[in-house]
Amino acid sequence: MSRRLGKLSAGVATTAVVMGAVAVLTAGTAAALAPYSTGKVAYMCNFPAIGQQQLDVTAKFDGPASVASGGAFTPSNISGTATISATINALLNSANYDGVRGKVNMPVTVTNATPASATVTNLDVPTQINPYVPGTRTFNILQDAGTGVPTFTAGTPGSATASLGTTINAPLDFHKKDGSWTTWNFNCTVKNTNPAQNRAFSPAITIT
């Protein structure tokens, strides 16, 4: 009886050690993630019916708080917003548009990492149809199971900075008030400003 209890106690102790180690490793992995985000970046885009207009974009992702030189990292939980002005909102309403759906292909650049540029593909623009309300309007962009996310390799010790690219491509469908959809190849180029806009995600990723 005492031998059985001894074996049982040893087994429980071993299980506790293993579970404790797993908990520590899991906690360490969770703690290693950090949020990265851009400020507002203005792009000029070809809207249906109303031509070239400004679109204000923000983006964010989760990534490692630090990564070893030569280590690989892949952004996760990527999301963003695209905001149109009150004027553009009114113009689209006048053209009988009230919603959108589709995908977004968003190029990014990264300093001190390879590849130096890549594209996040097929970010989702979920169906967003709403009655007209005067004022600005914001559309959501989300990573989903079909999103293609590049993996980067960290360069020399120091830091790496990711930035939005100078262009955006979005195969979209614009919804009209009569219930029909207009397929549209939506292309954007970063707006030229002086000084140039800051397209970088903040903070920089630490490379050890």
- The overall pTM is greater than 0.95: no
Position 21 scores a pLDDT of 39
Nearest to 185 by CA among 93, 91, 120, 105: 105
Kindly state whether residues 6 and 60 are assigned to the same domain.
no
Domain identity same for 42 and 20: no
In terms of domains, do 27 and 42 share one? Answer: no
- Note whether 25 and 94 are same-domain residues: no
Per-residue pLDDT of the chain (208 residues; tens, 9 = 90+): 444 434 434 444 444 434 443 333 333 334 389 999 999 999 999 999 999 999 999 999 999 999 999 999 999 999 999 999 999 999 999 999 999 999 999 999 999 999 999 999 999 999 999 999 999 999 999 999 999 999 999 999 999 999 999 999 999 999 999 999 999 999 999 999 999 999 999 999 999 9
The number of folded domains in the chain is 2
* 105 and 2 within one domain: no
Mode of pairing for the β-strands spanning 205-207 and 66-67? parallel
- Domain check: are 59 and 151 in the same one? yes
Do both 60 and 142 map to the same domain?
A: yes
Residues 88 and 15 placed together within one structural domain of the fold: no
Place of tokens 């906690």: 27
- Within this chain, do residues 45 and 21 fall inside the same structural domain, yes or no? no
Same domain, yes or no, for 130 and 117?
yes
For the chain, helix, strand, coil in percent to 5 are: 20, 50, 30
CA angle centred on 24, ends 22 and 29, rounded to 5°? 95
Domain CATH for 71: 2.60.40
Supply the range of the domain harboring residue 14: 1-31
Residue 75 sits in the same domain as residue 22 = no
* DSSP class of 116: S
Q: Strand order in 205-207's β-sheet?
A: 66-67, 205-207, 158-160
One domain, residues 108 and 169: yes
Backbone torsions φ then ψ of 105, nearest 5 degrees = -110, 115
